[in-house]
Amino acid sequence: MLKEITVQELDTDQFIAEKVREIQEAVGDGTAINALSGGVDSSVVTMLGHRALGNRLRTVFVENGIMREGEAERIERIFRDLGVPIEVVDARDEFFAALKGITDPEEKREAITQTFYRQVFGRIVRESGAKYLLQGTILTDVDETVAGIKRQHNVFEQLGIDPQEAFGYAILEPLIQLRKDGVRKVGKALGLPEEIFQRIPFPGPALAARIIGEVTPERVETVRKATAVVERLLAGTGAFQYLAVLHEDRVTGIRDGRREFGQQIEVRCWDSVDARRATPTRLPFDLLERLAQEILAEVPGVVSVTYNIATKPPSTIEAI
Ligand code: XMP
């Protein structure tokens, strides 16, 4: 059983010192790789890893084709400013090939997991001779996977999967006893900029977690554009997380006086402390109207915009 460290009992200096020591002990004089997605969790692990290993840690950002607009460039710049060099690996074709034709949510998650861990990181680790992959799994990821709610892309051991056997390397998870609020506190203490440690959560399976039905480059582009509008307009709300979902069903719309059998975007905006329970934010109606207007104007093919008003549970935060 993993012992939770609550945000109240978390002593960041002590936590950082302990994790740095654990990483150093595990890796010895070898090298490690770390998977940075630009989310809060992987950003905190990147800083911890660099404190522990310096340039014996290679930080890789996988451009999987399902990230948000301008993400690779933004993350590369932020970490360069912090003195942490990032390697961007283009794996877009591999991810889209693996996702082709898949519509079942858990199969989609599994395709992403396999492409990420077996194919892409398997190759990088083999070529580099690294023994470890550092990643930002947190306690909530483990809970939901073990409970069979969602197979979080980054949980193995608790499902009886040995990464060494399955992928050829071991995984270190320094944040596994924390919840999101604790991770933010550690991120702040590590000197990450606020735009990172206060960033809204973003799931490992990226925009694929927000596409109902097949994940194709075109459909990702649609949800990516809608996501950009949602993040721009809801940034000041103080909500825990906000996102756009692309639905599979089409509905009849009308554009320029003509019938358009168009796509539907659902906006979700959540109030939550730690993602275990969440309620929809009571957004002012004029803000909802602006969201609809801008999504309809900026995202081609969309004729319907809805706002989710269900709580988690029984909803989940992401759509798949
Ligand atoms: P759900 O959708 O399960 O999400 O209510 C709870 C929180 O976790 C994020 N999330 C993930 N994070 N890997 C992650 O690292 C995943 O596979 C994953 N799926 C969901 C989600 O964005 C929310 O903050």
128-141: per-residue pLDDT in tens?
999 899 999 999 88
Residues 142 and 288 in one domain: no
Asked whether residue 3 is domain-assigned, the answer is: no
pLDDT (0 to 100) of residue 177: 96
Instruction: Count other C-beta atoms under 10 Å from residue 293's C-beta.
Output: 12
CB-based contacts of 288: which residues, under 8 Å, 6+ apart?
A: 267, 307
Residue predicted with more confidence, 148 or 229: 229
Task: Give the whole-angstrom CA distance, residue 170 versus residue 158.
Answer: 14
**In the chain, where does DSSP find H-type helix?**
12-27, 40-53, 71-81, 92-99, 105-113, 121-128, 139-146, 163-167, 180-189, 194-197, 217-234, 285-298
Domain end marker among 169, 197, 225: 197
CA 214 to centroid of ligand 1, rounded, Å: 19
CA of 141 to the centre of ligand 1 (A): 7
Q: Are residues 35 and 118 in the same domain?
A: yes
User: 59 CA to middle of ligand 1, Å?
Assistant: 22
Q: Same domain, yes or no, for 163 and 223?
A: no
d(C-alpha 137, C-alpha 259), whole Å: 46
Mean local confidence (pLDDT), 47-53: 97
Q: Are residues 185 and 223 in the same domain?
A: no
The yes-or-no verdict on residue 313 having pLDDT over 90 is yes
pLDDT at position 158 is 83
Pairing of strands 32-35, 132-134: parallel
- Is there an atom of ligand 1 within 6 Å of 38 CB? no
Residues 122, 97 share a domain? yes
Q: What are phi and psi of 251, to 5 degrees?
A: -135, 155
**Residues 192 and 289 reside in one and the same domain:** no
By the 10 Å C-beta count (0-12 exposed, 13-18 middle, 19+ buried), 291 is classed as buried
Residue 301 resides in a domain:
yes
Last residue of a domain, one of 197, 231, 254: 197
Tokens read off for 267: 């906006």
Task: Quote the tokens at residue 40.
Answer: 């809060």
Mean pLDDT value across the chain:
95
Regarding whether 111 and 79 lie in a shared domain, the answer is yes
Among protein residues, the one with the nearest Cα to ligand 1's atom 21 is 203
Q: Which residues contact 243 (CB under 8 A, 6 or more apart)?
A: 210, 227, 230, 267, 268, 269, 317, 318
Report pLDDT digits (tens) over 60-108: 999 999 999 999 999 999 999 999 999 999 999 999 999 999 999 999 9
Q: Does any ligand 1 atom lie closer than 6 A to the CB of residue 268?
A: no
Same domain, 244 and 128: no
Output the furthest CA–CA distance in the chain (Å, rounded). Answer: 68
Rounded to 5 degrees, φ, ψ at 72 are -60, -45
User: Do 58 and 183 fall within a single domain?
Assistant: yes
Does a structural domain hold residue 205? no
Please state the rounded mean pLDDT for residues 185-210. 95
Please tell me the residue having the least CA distance from ligand 1 atom 19: 203
Predicted pLDDT of residue 147: 81
Q: Is 63 in the pocket of ligand 1 (CB under 6 A)?
A: no
Boundaries of domain holding 120: 12-197
Within a domain: residue 206?
no
Q: Assess contact for 169 and 131: CB atoms under 8 A.
A: yes
Residue 83, pLDDT score: 95
pLDDT at 161: 85
In ligand 1, which atom is closest to the CA atom of 154? 13
Give the mean pLDDT of 22-49. 95
Quick one: pLDDT at residue 144?
Answer: 81
Residue 48's nearest CA partner among 182, 191, 198, 179 is 191
Asked if 150 and 112 touch (Cβ cutoff 8 Å), the reply is no
Q: Is the pLDDT of residue 155 over 90?
A: no
List the strands of the sheet with 86-90, edge to edge: 86-90, 57-63, 32-35, 132-134, 170-172
Question: How open is the CA angle 250-252-255, to the nearest 5 degrees?
Answer: 115
Cβ 320 under 6 angstroms from ligand 1: no
User: With a threshold of 0.85, does the pTM exceed it?
Assistant: yes
Are residues 141 and 276 both part of a single domain? no
State the pLDDT at residue 292: 98
Give the position, in ligand 1's atom list, of the atom nearest the Cα of 204: 13
**Residue 21: per-residue pLDDT:** 98
Distance (Å) from CA 193 to ligand 1 centroid: 22
Same domain, 166 and 227: no
Judge whether 173 and 137 are in contact, CB under 8 Å: yes
CATH number of the domain encompassing residue 232: 3.30.300.10
